[in-house]
Amino acid sequence: MKIIKVTAIPLSFRLPEGKTVAMGIGSTLKRDAIIVRVETDDGIVGYGEAHPGRSAGAIVSLIHNTLGPLIMGLEATDVIGAWQRIHRMQFSSHGLGAGAALAYSGIDMALWDIRGKAVNLPVYALMGGSRRRIPAYAGGIAMGFQPPESLADEAQSYVDRGYKAVKLRFGDTAQDDIARIKHVRKVLGDDIDILTDANTNYTIAQARRVLPVLAEVQAGWLEEPFACNDFASYREAARITPLVPIAAGENHFMRFEFAQMLEAGAVQIWQPDLSKTGGITEGIRIAALASAFRIPIHAHSSATGLNHAASLHFLAATENAGYFEACVSHFNPFRDMFGATFEIGADGCVEPPAGPGLGVEVDEDLFKQYPLIDGPGYVVKF
């Protein structure tokens, strides 16, 4: 069963007025995604999702003109061999590069979809897992910079749907972030896990002000307070209070960068995104590395149901798995464009799809509704 064609399909949608979310990296204008389609000579088609970064066109070009041609003719089930070919011809000789990692992530995910379809098994079974229930938190692009009262109302709406954990967007002023989380904790009570994400927009001075308050309200973690490569600040933040874990990983690529994060000794929770970090194959390696040091894996999610399904399969077969990040964005047609891939239960948990491969039925006719929109996805007010 040979690989005969690799196609990247960029998609976009604009957020309607009133649906934007303000956070540390700006206010959302649109969302992009890249669907990767891999065909075999046996007629099996696999699908994956590659994160677009900030330039969907560049990632599409990498897939079509560099990475795709390198794996033509390889066995579609040989995910290790495909990874080794790409590593030898791209990563090791021309540098890792975020773009190449994003591009290959979608290819690898599609190859796992093919593997499952070829033997009529869901990916979690191929990985040695089971269709177990996975705790989920309300995440995605939601719960941004807004008055504490409306933020608490929004968070409460997710709790009412069954979520036992929610994630608030930080990275505003320390004063406003503190006011928001104190009010949300007061409204939600002590039984809900409140997580926070600063989207790399903190200084160490802001972290010093905020972290003691997070400890006071028993927040679950502070995610990405600093740039992904600012290990000095991460180490300093980890020393402020041991009661609040520091989380990162959605902007770290492949196990090599996670190994650097481990050596820095500053991040207690790892959050690889399977559409960014090298796909499912590399996600397995990252989780194994983390398990040796009792580091939990809380996979970060991307835009479409393909990533959500892949993340659920991955977590269902990972020993040290933590939360699934459930997208609760008020407007995200990519989430359900292939049908609902997860459903929150009264226990606050979700399950991976049961069908073969990723368990996602893809209707390519839907792609025509979301042509690529050039330009930035966020606007920042200076």
pLDDT of res. 18: 73
Residue at which a domain ends, from 101, 120, 139? 120
> Is 16 within the bounds of a domain?
yes
- Give the bridge partners for 248, in sequence order: 270
Domain membership of residue 175 (yes or no) is yes
Provide the number of structural domains found in the chain.
2
Q: Does residue 373 form part of some domain?
A: no
Instruction: Report the pLDDT value the prediction gives residue 24, as an integer from 0 to 100.
Output: 79
Which burial class, exposed, middle or buried, applies to 333 when counting CB atoms under 10 A from its CB (0-12, 13-18, 19+)? middle
Closest CA to 196 of 208, 215, 186, 187: 215
> Tokens in use for 89?
């011809």
Residue 371, domain member (yes or no): no
Identify the H or E element spanning 169.
Answer: strand 165-169
Cβ proximity of 156 and 187 under 8 Å: yes
CA–CA distance, 224 with 266 (Å, rounded to integer): 11
The answer on 111 and 61 residing in a single domain is yes
CATH assignment at residue 301: 3.20.20.120
Same domain, 129 and 114: no
Q: Is residue 193 part of a domain?
A: yes
- Per DSSP, the residues of 302-341 read -SSHHHHHHHHHHHHT-TTB--EEEE--SS-TTTTBTB-S
Instruction: Judge if 137 and 95 occupy the same domain.
Output: no
Together in a domain, 165 and 311: yes
Q: Which amino acid is at 119?
A: V
341 and 235 assigned to the same domain: yes
SS (H, E, C) 81-129: HHHHHHHHHHHHHHCCCHHHHHHHHHHHHHHHHHHHHHHCCEHHHHCCC
DSSP H helical ranges for the chain: 56-62, 68-70, 79-86, 92-94, 98-119, 123-126, 148-161, 174-188, 204-216, 231-240, 254-264, 279-291, 305-316
What CATH number does residue 14 fall under? 3.30.390.10
Q: How many CB atoms lie within 10 A of CB 327?
A: 22
Query: For the whole model, what pTM was predicted?
Result: 0.96
The last residue of a domain, from among 120, 137, 167: 120
| Same domain, residue pair 39 and 152 | no
Please indicate, yes or no, if residue 57 is contained in any of the structural domains: yes
98 and 178 in a single domain? The answer is no
| Same domain, yes or no: 222 and 318 | yes
Domain finish residue from 105, 120, 135: 120
Say if 375 falls within a structural domain. Answer: no
Alpha helix (H) ranges present in 132-173? Answer: 148-161
Mean pLDDT per 10-residue segment, the chain (382 residues):
98 85 81 97 98 93 96 98 95 82 97 98 98 97 95 98 98 97 98 97 97 98 96 94 96 95 94 98 98 98 97 98 96 92 96 97 96 83 50
Query: What pLDDT score was predicted for residue 382?
Result: 42
Q: Structural domain of residue 102, as residue ranges?
A: 3-120
Do 134 and 101 have their domain in common? no
User: What's the rounded Cα separation, in Å, for the pair 26 and 77?
Assistant: 40
Do 59 and 139 lie in one domain? The reply is no
Task: Identify whether 382 is part of a domain.
Answer: no
> Do 190 and 103 have their domain in common?
no
CB 133 within 8 A of CB 345: yes
Same domain, 251 and 353: yes
**Which DSSP letter does residue 16 get?**
P
> What's the pLDDT at 21?
80
Q: What is the pLDDT of residue 377?
A: 77
